Each structure stands twice: as structure tokens, then as C-alpha cells.
Homo-oligomer: A and B are copies of this chain.
Amino acid sequence: MTREQLIENIKSKGSFLCVGLDTDINKIPAHLLDAEDPVFEFNKAIIDATAPYCVAYKPNVAFYESLGAQGWQSLQKTVDYIRDTYPDQFIIADAKRGDIGNTSGLYARAFFENMGVDALTVAPYMGADSVTPFLGYDGKWVILLALTSNPGSADFQQTVDNEGTPLFAKVIETAHTWGNDENMMFVVGATRGKMFEDIRRVAPRSFLLVPGVGAQGGSLEDVVRYGMTDECGLLVNSSRAIIYASRDTDFTEKAAEEARKLRDMMTILLCSGGVM
């Protein structure tokens, strides 16, 4: 998907919501456990319930990988279902991959060619040749970890170098020599508040994928106040607060309700921000 298409989808839906499909077999409603593929049945129901209110889905690959080959099948079926049924949804595999050049090339093939997602999260630690193999695909995106939402992000990401630049800013600046705002986004945690201003200094036009609203305690208003651009420039992810809004037979209604609430807030923020 191109940047223009993504922005158009955000405007037409009044939403920059990404629904995180962090599907844990131990947390899905009991009545689904008899299905042949409970994880896929759960995802399908969540997707049908939330598609009107979001522009993106983000399965975190760990949840599927923890189930072995069967989990990979559930993930592939989920991606195929979104692609076939809601072709305007942006699909992100949250896999945080990255390896030496020829090996990153294999991960690119796995996710972009075989699985068919639009975007992949990538870890920057190994540098240029671990990231550039993902950039050679038309309409596909790298989403590079920059400043993550978890406590451990303080350990290295905020380390200031001998020129006064924190590592997360150096990652963003350096990455702009590898890719551009049409094929690269950055992960910035919603728990970062005012630090979005620092991010926007080095990435004024980039889309940011923002996890951490909801269960992790980030504030949507702060993210928008400090991070929104005149083209939106944000995909805000919510996982647990939507997909586990209820663990009973009404889980689709409750998920839709949570997603709709966020969409309604986002529409107001897009209007007041001058995007719509």
C-alpha cells in the first residue's frame, strides 16, 4: 500500500486505529475452543467486528510462533482473510526481525512475498545491511523500532552519544539515509508523551506506529498533541483493550464498541488537527 492510499483511508474512515491481533489461545472465549482452528476463528470474528473502525491490523508474530507450525497456519489464514475480505486494510506483521544482509533477505521473502503483509517491524541493532533488504519491495514498508513503549527502552534507546544524540534519534536519522517516508515508518511508544516532539524533529513527515495506548498506559491525547502531522502521520495500535474487551460470547460486540469509541475520538482529533 502506498503512503497516499494509507492517508486516504485514514481520512475516509476518520480513524488511524490499528487493531493488534495478539491472540492468546488461553484468553479467547471458551465457546471457540471446539473450532478446528480457534485462533483463526477468533481473529476472523474480531476482524469482522472492528474493520469499519480501523485502517490496519497488526498480528504480533510471537503469539502465533508460540504455537509452532499450527500457529503459522493460523497467522497465514488471518492475513489471507484480511487481504481477501478487507483489501483496504494495512497489514503489519509485528515480528521485530533483523539479521545480516542475506538472512534479512530471507525474512523479507517470508513476510512480503510468502505471507503477503504490507509491513514488517524490524529491529535496528545490526545496522544498514540488516534493514535495507526489506526496502526493495514496491508498496511494502519497514517499521523500524526507535523508541519503544516498554520500561527496557530506557536501557539503550535513550543512551546519549558523544555528540549529544540519543540512540533512538540516531537510528531515525541514519535510517533516513536507507529509506524514505514512502517505505519506512518508526515505532514510538505511546508512553513517551512529550518525547514525540524530539521524534518529530528528526522525523517530521514519517508515519509512526504507536503501541502502548490502553493496557500499557499511554494517552491518545498526548500522542496526538505531540506527534500528529497535517497528514496524520500516526497509526495508533490497541490490542488487549479491544480484543479482550469481553471474554464471553459477546466478545465481538464489546470489541466493536471499544474500537468504535477509539475511532470516534480519532475522528474528532483528525478534525481538530486539520487533517480532515
Contact = CB atoms under 8 A, between A and B. Distances in A.
Contacts of A1: none
Contact of A96 (B66, B99, B150): B99
A153 B124 contact: no
A157 B127 contact: yes
Nearest to A73: B69
A159 B156 contact: no
Interface string A92-122: 0010111111011011011000110000000
A152 B170 contact: no
A161 B158 CA distance: 10
A104 to B, nearest CB: 8
Nearest to A175: B155
Contact of A170 (B99, B125, B159): B159
Given A72-B69, A76-B68, A127 B106 contact: no
A28 interface: no
Contacts of A17: none
Interface in A109-167: 109-110, 114-115, 123-131, 145, 148-157, 159-162, 164, 167
A121 to B, nearest CB: 9
A174 interface: yes
A156 B110 contact: no
Given A96-B99, A126-B148, A156 B167 contact: yes
Contacts of A81: none
A24 B96 CA distance: 22
A160 B97 CA distance: 25
Given A129-B151, A131-B152, 20 more contacts: A24-B106, A62-B104, A62-B106, A63-B106, A65-B106, A66-B107, A67-B110, A68-B76, A69-B69, A69-B70, A96-B98, A100-B152, A101-B150, A123-B125, A124-B155, A126-B148, A126-B150, A127-B150, A127-B157, A128-B151
Interface of A: 22, 24, 60, 62-63, 65-70, 72-73, 76, 94, 96-101, 103-104, 106-107, 109-110, 114-115, 123-131, 145, 148-157, 159-162, 164, 167, 170-171, 174, 216
28 contacts: A62-B104, A63-B103, A65-B106, A65-B107, A66-B106, A66-B107, A66-B109, A66-B110, A67-B114, A68-B72, A68-B76, A68-B114, A69-B70, A96-B126, A100-B150, A100-B216, A124-B155, A125-B145, A126-B148, A127-B152, A127-B156, A128-B151, A128-B152, A129-B151, A156-B174, A160-B162, A161-B161, A167-B167
